[in-house]
């Protein structure tokens, strides 16, 4: 048998192979109330639906793990995967921060390392021969060396963001010299760590072409594939009879610094316009971990700081115009994809909409400064038909490019290319 024939037989075999896949996450992905858990769960669900065996091991820093609180949709997924949770303590004291100033590493990453978890992970790898182990983000890459040592699986890094870019962009928004230099310091340390880790994987999956080009520019030599955010469109059922028009809303977790920075910028710049000015529209802010100081923005009948909502999609459906004022970010914003699926008229910065193949003023409105946001809001609150047409086009875009089945097939094809490449090389 020739080498070429053997390779063709191998490729044909792997094409129909049921893969054993382990997904590692730095947080519990239930409930699905943010971009990270939505991506993780949709990936696991998509892989299971394609017939693959999936295990998911999550670090739990928030002590929020309670299966009794999960939705039926969550429980359905949990019944089909091997799911384990390990509690860790990621709290950092003022002293820890002070000491870290004299270190070459970043406590934002190091606090996710736990030696006991590493031991449990090694036990799992000795008990199960995985084909693919996927690291969901930079924080779980702390366990890369242990995984490489104890498993023959192909190791995939999913870059939800280019982490150092977020910190660098955050520093650029600061005017306080100390905060600016402190954030730049962390950006530099995180960039060094990212550089060290990237080529240690077998492949990298990114959400956007921008992130792919950035990683190539960093000197990354391993295969990189762009795999966009995928969602199950059957879950997203707009009902305009329950939608308040006009209304503005923001939905996102404020423990993520870019979200907090963006919504603070928006509230500071539009507070007067919303309360006493020409923007006669109610504004709703919802999400996890909203600091108490945001209550100061609350104005009865005009600005509502709601905090966490019981049903995110119900909340999104009840409002008409979504704002995404991100000033420092990267990757693809899952909330925008979800908003598009719910036929929302979305006003976002170009940075917030990065990676989505949008067409400005067709399926989204792009506003990059205060004046552009003002004009976009003014237009939207005065023309309901215009908002609905933007939302309808947005839904079509998601149907064409973000269907979870098609996206997962692309991810699995990438897995198999990595596996095949190893066999051919050997």
Domains of the chain in sequence order? 3-230+404-425 (3.40.50.2000), 234-401 (3.40.50.2000)
Per-residue pLDDT of the chain (426 residues; tens, 9 = 90+): 444 444 545 555 566 688 999 999 999 998 777 788 999 999 999 999 999 999 999 999 865 555 556 778 888 999 999 999 999 988 766 666 655 655 666 767 888 999 999 999 999 999 999 999 999 999 999 999 999 999 999 999 999 988 777 777 777 777 777 778 877 887 888 888 888 899 999 999 999 999 999 999 989 999 999 999 999 999 999 999 999 999 999 998 888 888 999 999 999 999 999 999 999 999 999 988 899 999 999 999 999 999 888 889 999 999 999 999 998 766 668 999 999 999 999 999 998 998 899 999 999 999 999 999 999 999 999 999 999 999 999 999 999 999 999 999 999 999 999 988 766 665
Strands 53-60 and 345-348: unpaired
Cα–Cα dist 226/411, whole Å: 9
Instruction: Give the DSSP letter of residue 336.
Output: H
Cα-trace Rg, the chain: 22
Q: β-strand 82-87 against 53-60: which pairing, if any?
A: parallel
pTM over 0.75: yes
> Among all chains, which residue has been given the structure tokens 């017939």?
51
Q: CA nearest 186: which of 175, 210, 170? A: 170
Give yes or no for a cis peptide into 84 (omega within 30° of 0): no
Residues 380 and 323 sit within 8 Å (Cβ to Cβ): no
């Amino acid at each position: 048998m020739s080498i070429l024939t053997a390779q063709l037989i191998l490729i044909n075999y792997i094409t129909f192979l049921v893969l054993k896949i382990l997904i590692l996450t730095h947080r519990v992905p239930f409930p699905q109330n943010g971009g990270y858990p939505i991506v993780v769960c949709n990936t696991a669900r998509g892989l299971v639906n394609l017939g693959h065996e999936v295990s998911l091991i999550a670090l739990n820093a928030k002590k929020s793990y309670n299966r009794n609180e999960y939705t039926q949709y969550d429980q359905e997924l949990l019944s089909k995967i091997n799911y384990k949770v390990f509690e860790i303590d990621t709290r950092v004291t003022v002293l820890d921060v002070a000491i870290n100033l004299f270190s070459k590493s970043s406590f934002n990453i190091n606090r996710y390392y736990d030696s006991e978890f590493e031991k449990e992970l090694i036990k799992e790898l000795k008990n199960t021969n995985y084909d693919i182990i996927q690291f969901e983000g930079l924080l779980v890459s702390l366990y890369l060396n242990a995984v490489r040592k104890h498993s023959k699986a192909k190791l995939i890094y999913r870059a939800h963001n280019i982490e150092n870019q977020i910190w660098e962009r955050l520093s650029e928004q600061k005017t306080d010299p100390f905060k600016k230099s402190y954030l730049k310091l962390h950006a530099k340390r995180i960039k060094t760590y990212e550089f060290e880790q990237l080529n240690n994987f077998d492949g990298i999956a990114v959400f956007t072409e921008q992130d792919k080009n950035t990683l190539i520019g960093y000197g990354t030599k391993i295969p990189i594939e762009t795999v966009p955010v995928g969602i199950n469109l059957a879950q997203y059922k707009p009902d305009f009879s329950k939608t308040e028009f006009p209304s503005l809303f923001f939905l996102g977790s404020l423990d993520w610094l870019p979200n907090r920075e963006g919504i603070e910028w928006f509230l500071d710049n539009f507070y007067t316009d919303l309360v006493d000015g020409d923007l006669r529209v109610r504004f709703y802010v919802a999400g996890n971990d909203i600091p108490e100081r945001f209550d100061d923005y609350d104005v009865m009948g005009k600005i509502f700081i709601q905090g966490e909502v019981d049903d995110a999609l119900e909340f999104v459906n009840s409002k008409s115009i979504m704002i995404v004022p991100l000033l420092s970010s990267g990757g693809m914003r899952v909330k925008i994809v979800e908003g598009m699926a719910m036929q929302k008229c979305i006003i976002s910065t170009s940075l917030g909409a990065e990676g989505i193949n949008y067409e400005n003023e067709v399926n989204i409105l792009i506003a990059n400064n205060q004046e552009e946001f003002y004009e976009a809001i003014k237009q939207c609150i005065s023309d309901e038909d215009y908002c609905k047409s933007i939302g309808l086009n947005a839904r079509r875009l998601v149907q064409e490019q973000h269907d979870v089945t098609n996206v997962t097939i692309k991810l699995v094809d990438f897995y198999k290319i990595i596996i095949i490449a190893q066999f051919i090389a050997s």
